[in-house]
Amino acid sequence: MGYVQLQDQEIFYEIDGVGPPVLMVMGLGGNSQVWAPLRRALSSNYTLIMYDMRGTGRSSQASSPATLDDLIEEIHAVLVHLELRDVRAVGFSFGATVLLNYAYRYPQLLKSVSLVSGAYEFTTYVRKFIDVQVELASVLPRSQYLKQVMLWLLSERFFQHNPEFFDRAIFMLERSPLAGRFLEIWQLFALAFQDSYQGLATLPMPLQFVHGSADKVSSPEIVQRITTDLTNCQVDWVEYGGHMLTWDAPEQTIDLLCRFWNKQSAKV
């Protein structure tokens, strides 16, 4: 583990495992710990490079609001610092948006790109969703806001199989430093998010879309539409899976990622 200096920011990263390198790009409002349910299994065959976006986890607090360009360049700073090329990369949720835009700018460093629960189009629904979340984050007590977040992050199937998880997760999240910063988090999303699907056909590396069929945040219909005519991509559906697949369906997510990587390795 260590830090990369990028202008006035210190970006924390850690490395775990053995094997080909895999870059892990976290989602909005979390940190590198979002990969915990996948980490143990993946690190037995891959070297995982995980980092905290500026202002989260063990990275330094941002002195000004981050832009999409800032988030792209901090990925680049980590890979250059570690002298890595030909890297498999996984982005989760908002991290999929950041990773995809990184792939447009620095395609030569990536071997493949896997996008888990990504959001690709800034639709009217997404705009309204952000507006409502900003409003709720500004008026609700922390615990109440967290409760409604958990309901749209996870699937109904997950709650059926893990009835005790809800209260335990709220208890833990209430004590997280990020729990009091949801307003800032959604403002970052509104500032940095943009439609990211128009250049998909131009990317030279293999693409994978991993998406839950019951995702309440990022529409499965959009994923179907933007991938219909692509020849360089593979779409893997997690039946009944919600948005936070890293916790909602970790075993299936791990299996789909590994199958994709093994398939690409077999082609070489």
Render pLDDT for 12-24 as a digit per residue (tens, 0 to 9). 999 999 999 999 9
pLDDT for 122: 80
Predicted confidence (pLDDT) at residue 38 exceeds the cutoff of 90? yes
Contacts of 138-144 spanning 24+ positions with Cβ under 8 A:
138/183, 142/174, 142/179, 142/180, 143/170, 143/174
Specify the DSSP element, H or E, that contains 207.
strand 207-212
Give per-residue pLDDT as tens, 102-119. Answer: 999 999 999 999 999 998
Could you give the domains of the chain? 2-121+194-267 (3.40.50.1820)
**Backbone phi, psi, residue 204, to 5°:** -85, -15
Compute the average pLDDT of residues 169-182: 64
The 10 Å Cβ neighbour count of residue 243 is 24
Predicted confidence (pLDDT) at residue 188 exceeds the cutoff of 70? no
pLDDT for 261: 96
- Kindly state the greatest CA–CA separation across the chain: 54
Among the residue ranges 68-72, 83-87, 202-206, 248-252, the one predicted with the least confidence is 68-72
Q: What is the DSSP letter of 60?
A: P
Burial (CB count <10 Å: 0-12, 13-18, 19+), residue 130: middle
Phi/psi-derived region of residue 18, left when phi > 0, alpha when psi is between -120 and 50, beta in every other case: beta
Distance CA 123, CA 130 (A): 11
pLDDT for 181: 61
Give per-residue pLDDT as tens, 92-151. Answer: 988 998 999 999 999 999 999 999 999 888 888 888 888 888 888 888 888 888 888 888
Predicted confidence (pLDDT) at residue 73 exceeds the cutoff of 90? yes
pLDDT for 189: 65
Distance CA 14, CA 244 (A): 22
Distance CA 6, CA 78 (A): 9
pLDDT-based confidence at residue 210 (cuts at 50, 70, 90): very high
Find out whether 49 and 25 touch, Cβ atoms under 8 Å: no
Find out whether 213 and 236 touch, Cβ atoms under 8 Å: no
Phi/psi-derived region of residue 48, left when phi > 0, alpha when psi is between -120 and 50, beta in every other case: beta
Put simply, whether the predicted model's pTM sits higher than 0.85 gets the answer yes
Find out whether 210 and 256 touch, Cβ atoms under 8 Å: yes
